[in-house]
Amino acid sequence: MTSLIPADNGFAMWSVLLAGAAFAAWAERTRLGHRLSGVLVAILLAMVLSNVRLIPASSPTYDTVLEYLIPIAIPLLLFDANLRRILRDTGKMLIGFGIGTVGTVIGVLVGSRLIALGPDGPALSGMFASTYIGGGLNFFAVAQATGFESGGQMASSIAADVLMTAVYIIAVMALPSVLWIRRRFTSPIIERADAEIANGGNGQAVIAKKAVSFSIFAVTLALTLAFVISAVGYWLADLMGLEGFGILFISALALVPANVFPKLNQHLTGHEELGMIAIYIFLFVNGARADVWAMVGSALPITLFAVIIVATHMVFTFTVGALVKLDLAELIIASNACVGGSSSAGPIAAARGWRELVTPGILCGSLGNAIGTFIGVGITRAMGG
Query: What's the pLDDT score for residue 207?
Result: 47
Nearest residue to 110 via CA among 255, 311, 295: 311
User: How many Cβ atoms are within 10 Å of 370's Cβ, its own excluded?
Assistant: 23
When comparing pLDDT for 172 and 317, which is higher?
A: 317
- pLDDT above 70 covers a percentage of the chain that reads 87
Query: What's the pLDDT score for residue 297?
Result: 63
Question: DSSP string covering 128-149, please?
Answer: HHHHTTT-HHHHHHHHHHHT--
State which amino acid sits at residue 246.
G
Query: What's the pLDDT score for residue 36?
Result: 65
Residue 365 makes CB contacts below 8 A (sequence gap 6+) with 134, 135, 337, 340, 341, 342, 343, 344, 345, 346
When comparing pLDDT for 78 and 21, which is higher?
A: 21
d(Cα 155, Cα 340) in Å, to the nearest integer?
Answer: 18
When comparing pLDDT for 69 and 107, which is higher?
A: 107
Rounded (5°) CA angle 80-28-132: 55
User: How many Cβ atoms are within 10 Å of 66's Cβ, its own excluded?
Assistant: 18
Query: Contact 307/164 with Cβ under 8 angstroms?
Result: yes
d(Cα 227, Cα 72) in Å, to the nearest integer?
Answer: 6
Question: What would the mean pLDDT of 324-343 be, rounded to a whole number?
Answer: 87
User: How many Cβ atoms are within 10 Å of 195's Cβ, its own excluded?
Assistant: 12
Is 196's pLDDT higher than 80? no
Query: Contact 204/353 with Cβ under 8 angstroms?
Result: yes
d(Cα 42, Cα 69) in Å, to the nearest integer?
Answer: 16
Question: What would the mean pLDDT of 226-248 be, rounded to a whole number?
Answer: 84
When comparing pLDDT for 370 and 339, which is higher?
A: 339
Query: What's the pLDDT score for residue 149?
Result: 65
Query: What's the pLDDT score for residue 214?
Result: 66
- pLDDT above 90 covers a percentage of the chain that reads 27
Domain spans of the chain? 11-382
CATH number of 11-382: 1.20.1530
Query: What's the pLDDT score for residue 178?
Result: 81
Query: Contact 241/234 with Cβ under 8 angstroms?
Result: no
Question: DSSP string covering 331-370, please?
Answer: HHHHHHHHHT-HHHHHHHHHHTT-GGGHHHHHHHHHHHHH
Least confident of 39-53, 193-207, 226-240: 193-207
d(Cα 329, Cα 258) in Å, to the nearest integer?
Answer: 28
Is 15's pLDDT higher than 80? yes
Is 146's pLDDT higher than 70? yes
Question: What would the mean pLDDT of 283-308 be, rounded to a whole number?
Answer: 77
Q: Where are the alpha helices (DSSP H) in 90-208?
A: 92-114, 121-131, 136-146, 151-173, 179-184, 188-198
Q: Name the packing angle between helices 60-78 and 358-382 (round to 10°).
A: 130
Nearest residue to 129 via CA among 252, 383, 306: 306
Is 282's pLDDT higher than 90? no
Query: Contact 150/302 with Cβ under 8 angstroms?
Result: no
